[in-house]
Structure 1
Amino acid sequence: MKRTERPSARERNRRSILDAAQAVLREDPEASLDDVAARAGVVRRTVYGHFTSRADLVVALVRAAAADFIAQVGDVDPDSGDPAAEFAATILRTWSTSRRYGPVILLARRTVDDEVRAAMAPFATIMVRLLENGQRAGVFARHVAAPVLAEVLQAGSATYLRAAQAGRWDGGEADVALGHLLTLGVPLDDARAAVARAGAARPDVLT
């Protein structure tokens, strides 16, 4: 039987620091490395042994968040014959991860936006293909190019995240999916039907 290697002390420290940083920055986006060290139960020097600066720590958090997010995306079919439902399904699968990492991502957008874009590039690429498919099928609006629509949707997601973080909105995955489909020009009844089709296999996420 193959033995499972246990993480080294250094790897455990790094994971502990990242977990602490995510929790601290969720509470206070302006928190310092001292605050992170205190939450992780280590000295500041230990944090600097892994991350050279606060920005370096935020970048590491962004990369970890992006990896988790992309893992939750699953198989997206950009050439789906039902692009509206395929798009909605993607939102249903990933919104809880977006909520969990929202404060860190919003902070990173202000400070290391290039890193966010690079980390999310695989997801962005396939979503642009899905939007292009929907435009060719006449399902999504065609007044602007798909990459621009993708940027609009990202901005919309950030707005939902900020509103949720501030306690001004308590909607769920289905609400976000519906809102994005309306932004894409899908009529209300058709958008609702698409979300229902997407959620048929995942009734647990419909809120």
Structure 2
Amino acid sequence: MRKGTERRPSARERNRRSILDAAQAVLREDPDASLDEVAARAGVVRRTVYGHFTSRHDLVVALVRAASADFVEQVGEVDPDAPDPAGELAATLLRTWSTSRRYGPVIALARRTADDEIRAAMAPFHTIMIRLLENGQRAGVFSRHVAAPVLAEVLQAGSMAYQHAAQDGRWDGDEADVALGHLLTLGVPVADARAAVARATAA
């Protein structure tokens, strides 16, 4: 490869990307969609899909891994030990909401299986969030009535609820509203929660 040039993706790589994009769109519309429907949306035959993914389960796992990588990339600059855990959490939610909405239906589908491989794919994101929640609990900013790992699950369920409401047209808020809602769920007083979201937005 000559210096200054970039390698073009192969036809196989392009097909894989096309299948993943199609699967994400199809499963958002219908979590029970078949591989035939994914193949049709991607513009390939079913055999091509099986050339990349041996089963529907493998395809969902691949999507969750892509979501995890995207989440970790977006969360990469967060400091779980920040002196302002409320502002840090708000900033994290502001950065990751678009990714959460894009992959939310697929992650919700994957979580129904309680698959160890899927949980492992999301582990880096959960680890960062749990550390940040523990920091906030130690500082007395977040509620300590339950352990941080449980709170992380509560927040994820809340995010899913916001996504479903937005998809159904029952809610038209934005990422700032999600951040505020999560901080209130964590026991942060309303005025302090609004101030934290304002700090995160300004940053």
TM-score strictly above 0.5: yes
User: 1:125 matched to which residue of 2?
Assistant: 127
Aligned-partner Cα distance in 2 for 1:75–1:111: 31
Shift of 1:47: 0.6
How big is the alpha-carbon RMSD for the aligned residues of Structure 1 and Structure 2?
1.3
Instruction: Assess if the C-alpha contact under 8 Å between 2:64 and 2:122 holds in 1.
Output: no
Q: 3-state SS of the aligned residue for 1:7?
A: coil
Q: Which residue of 2 aligns with 1:169?
A: 171
Alpha-carbon separation, structure 1, partners of 2:191 and 2:57: 44
Counterpart for residue 102 of structure 1: 104
Report the Cα offset of residue 197 of structure 1: 0.5
8 A Cα contact 1:62 1:115, kept in partner: no
Distance (Å, rounded) in 1 between the aligned partners of 2:51 and 2:117: 21
Deviates further, 69-78 or 188-197: 69-78
- Give per-residue Cα distances to partners, 1:40-85, cap 9 Å, x unaligned: 1111111111111111111111111111122122311111111100
Between the aligned residues of both structures, percent identity stands at 84
Secondary structure at the counterpart of residue 29 of structure 1: coil
8 A Cα contact 1:59 1:112, kept in partner: no
User: For residues 160 and 114 of structure 2, what CA distance do their matches in structure 1 show?
Assistant: 15
Alpha-carbon distance, 1:113 to partner: 4.5
Segments of structure 1 that go 5 or more residues without pairing to the other structure are 202-207
Helix, strand or coil: the match of 2:112? helix
Q: Structure 1 length as normaliser, TM-score?
A: 0.92
Deviating beyond 4 angstroms after TM superposition, the runs of 4 or more aligned structure 1 residues are none
Q: Write out aligned runs for 1:5-154 (5 A).
A: 5-111=7-113, 113-154=115-156
1:193 is aligned to 195
Report deviation, 1:124: 1.1
Gap runs ≥5 in structure 2: none
- Counterpart amino acid of residue 140 in structure 2: G
Deviation of the 1:2 alpha carbon: 3.7
Q: 1:116 deviation in Å?
A: 3.5
In the alignment, the residues of structure 1 paired with residue 130 and residue 30 of structure 2 have an alpha-carbon distance, to the nearest angstrom, of 33
Provide the C-alpha distance between the structure 2 equivalents of 1:69 and 1:146, rounded to a whole number of angstroms: 19
CA distance in 1, matches of 2:77, 2:23: 30
Report the alpha carbon displacement of residue 151 of structure 1 after superposing the two structures with TM. 1.4
Aligned length: 201
